[in-house]
A and B are shown apart, each in its own frame.
Chain A
Amino acid sequence: MLESYSFIGVFIVVAAGIASAPLLLAWLLRPSKPNPIKSSVYECGIETYGDAWVQFKAQYYVYALVFVLFDVETVFLFPWALVYNQLPLFAVIEMLIFILILAGALIYAWRKGDLEWV
């Protein structure tokens, strides 16, 4: 059991290595002649106006909230789906009620206008 997860650890190390090896190689081979104009931020060729780290449209945050709701609730579906084959009918129907509640949450968010792009 633990051995199979230790392979994931090994794979993370190897994947990070494989992903950074070309970057290291490029760091050795590439020229480096920076100047202020080259390293300025790109914006249509004109000089950059203001800072990019600004307050941003809150709509994206609303979607993130709806996502968190659904992501947490769908995680509860996984253990149920795994033992589904051994479950009696009433346990399946119980889970259907849970899915209905999930759908209810979706309809609530929809009616409330949280899914409208403003």
Chain B
Amino acid sequence: MGNNFWIAIADALRGWMGGFMPPVGVDVVMAFLRAIVLAVFGLLMFMVLTWIERKGIARFQDRLGPNKAGPYGLLQPIADGVKAITKEDITPANADRFVYNIAPILAAMGSLLVYAVVPFGQGMIGVDLDIGIFYILVVGSLGPLAVLISGWSSSNKYALLGAFRGVAQLISYEVPQILSVVTVIMIAGTMSMIGIVDKQVASTWFIVPLPLSALILLLSGMAEAGRGPFDLLEADSEIVAGYHIEYSGMKFAMFFLGEYVHAFAVSAVFSTLFLGGWQLPFFNVDNTIPWIGPLVILVKSLFIFWVMVWIRATFPRLRIDHLLNFNWKFLVPLSLLNVAVVALLDRLLSSAGYGAVDNTTVWTLVLLAANLAMLFGALWLMGRRGRRARQVDQVVEERPAAVEYAHAESVH
């Protein structure tokens, strides 16, 4: 670990400050520096992500997207920032002012807090908490709070509608998110983010044996970030902009920032839990070039973010009852089944000598087969239910037409 370039820089800084400061002061300053680097990284990623998203969506819709400000429109986020900062801020007359002003800060802060435990390399982490992944779930509950208080304090009906929809959606999708994380914790035997990556180095990327958990985490993470087909809390074409309709200028930009930072945090957590974090297979990243670890996790996270953009461009928005049904009647039972099956199979395989580390190939194949069987079984059940529901609809629709036909016959 000592030969890592970034850690060497940190050590040099420590040594330099140790010359004129007590050790406690050095610790505090280093903690603040790390926090500032991570938070500023979040802000910078926000600018990159808005560009990627706008460019990507534009291409999907056969448009060019931003292309005036700078080469390929790369300076567009800066222009947007200047616009947001110099724009007049309008507060509705009968809004609850204090809560109204707190909400955008809370939205941005809640998303930024996730970065404290995302590992960018060996030792390159804000803090390696023992309960890292649990901390992410805990911090994630700030999101619904920001949505609810912003919608409620705006004293606008659209905002209220968006806030209620948003809270119903955000809290519902937390359940499959938690349950899909449980399987990873079970296999890894730790909640520390670095520990989970190390375990994947020892066995294999968890997306291979646990594709179902990965899929559920991605879907519920997208719903948690309020993106793609799950953007009911904003729904521009129904409730105009939902909970942040009354916000303008920089306050609106902070909600926007919160959403993108959250989406990237979901991608980064997904990459850490299922795609091996900053590590590559068959290749020890730690002792080679210093910037390769952060680069690897950045590329993985951007890929996952790109998948989110792709899904958003492909699927139409869900209706609120379909959204909640999809969660409670499909994702939650499926993730409960997933936890039970993975727990039983892994225990049986381990006691037979085919554990995750002892015999990775057999273990991976068995779990992969079980996961795929569960996924396709659930999809088949859902498809059968859907076909039956459609048949009932058809019968109901045909009856009046038949009566009319009989009536027409008797007249002639």
- Which residues from chain A sit less than 8 Å from chain B, CB to CB? 3-8, 10-16, 18-20, 22-23, 25-27, 29-34, 36, 38-43, 51-54, 56-57, 60, 63-64, 66-67, 70-71, 74, 77-78, 81-85, 87, 89, 92-93, 95-96, 99-100, 102-103, 106, 109-110, 115, 117
List of B residues within 8 angstroms of A52 by Cβ: 154-157, 159-160
- Which residues from chain B sit less than 8 Å from chain A, CB to CB? 27-28, 31-32, 34-36, 38-40, 42-43, 81, 84-94, 101, 104-105, 108-109, 112-113, 116, 126-130, 134-135, 152, 154-160, 164, 167-168, 171-172, 174-175, 178-179, 182-183, 185-186, 189-191, 240, 245-246, 249-251, 253-254, 257, 320-321, 324-325, 328-329, 332-333, 336-337, 339-340, 343-344, 346-348, 350-351
Q: Which residue of A11, A36, A54, A95 has the most chain B CB atoms within 10 A of its CB atom?
A: A11
**What is the minimal beta-carbon distance from B326 to any residue of chain A, in angstroms?**
11
List of B residues within 8 angstroms of A87 by Cβ: 347
A41 touches B182 (CB 8 A): no
Main secondary structure of the interface of B (DSSP, over half): helix
Q: Which residue of A3, A18, A78, A95 has the most chain B CB atoms within 10 A of its CB atom?
A: A18
Of the candidates B27, B38, B336, B344, the one whose C-beta lies within 8 Å of that of A102 is B336
B135 touches A8 (CB 8 A): yes
A64-B171, A71-B178, A99-B336 given as contacts; is B249 within 8 A of A26 (CB)?
Answer: yes
B186 touches A81 (CB 8 A): yes
A30 touches B89 (CB 8 A): yes
**What is the minimal beta-carbon distance from B213 to any residue of chain A, in angstroms?**
12
Q: Which residue of A26, A89, A110 has the most chain B CB atoms within 10 A of its CB atom?
A: A26
Main secondary structure of the interface of A (DSSP, over half): helix
A67 touches B87 (CB 8 A): no
A16-B109, A22-B254, A30-B87 given as contacts; is B92 within 8 A of A39 (CB)?
Answer: yes
**What is the minimal beta-carbon distance from A76 to any residue of chain B, in angstroms?**
10
**What is the minimal beta-carbon distance from A30 to any residue of chain B, in angstroms?**
6
B93 touches A41 (CB 8 A): yes
Determine the distance from Cα of A73 to Cα of B223 in the docked complex, in whole angstroms: 21
B105 touches A19 (CB 8 A): yes
B246 touches A41 (CB 8 A): yes
B347 touches A92 (CB 8 A): yes
B171 touches A30 (CB 8 A): no
List of A residues within 8 angstroms of B126 by Cβ: 7, 11
List of A residues within 8 angstroms of B343 by Cβ: 84, 92, 95-96
A39 touches B325 (CB 8 A): no
List of B residues within 8 angstroms of A95 by Cβ: 343
List of B residues within 8 angstroms of A89 by Cβ: 347-348, 351
A106 touches B246 (CB 8 A): no
A39 touches B31 (CB 8 A): no
B93 touches A36 (CB 8 A): yes
List of A residues within 8 angstroms of B152 by Cβ: 53
Chain B residue nearest in CB terms to A93: B344
Ranked nearest first, the 10 interchain pairs of A and B with the lowest CB-CB distance are A117-B321, A26-B250, A19-B108, A14-B35, A7-B127, A15-B112, A81-B185, A85-B189, A18-B39, A84-B186
Determine the distance from Cα of A26 to Cα of B101 in the docked complex, in whole angstroms: 13
B182 touches A23 (CB 8 A): no
B254 touches A63 (CB 8 A): no
B84 touches A60 (CB 8 A): no
**What is the minimal beta-carbon distance from B187 to any residue of chain A, in angstroms?**
8
Determine the distance from Cα of A7 to Cα of B113 in the docked complex, in whole angstroms: 11
**What is the minimal beta-carbon distance from A66 to any residue of chain B, in angstroms?**
7
Determine the distance from Cα of A52 to Cα of B152 in the docked complex, in whole angstroms: 8
A60-B167, A67-B174 given as contacts; is B155 within 8 A of A53 (CB)?
Answer: yes
List of B residues within 8 angstroms of A56 by Cβ: 160, 164
Of the candidates B91, B108, B185, B328, the one whose C-beta lies within 8 Å of that of A39 is B91
Of the candidates B34, B40, B108, B189, the one whose C-beta lies within 8 Å of that of A84 is B189
A60 touches B185 (CB 8 A): no
List of A residues within 8 angstroms of B105 by Cβ: 16, 19-20, 23
Determine the distance from Cα of A93 to Cα of B36 in the docked complex, in whole angstroms: 46
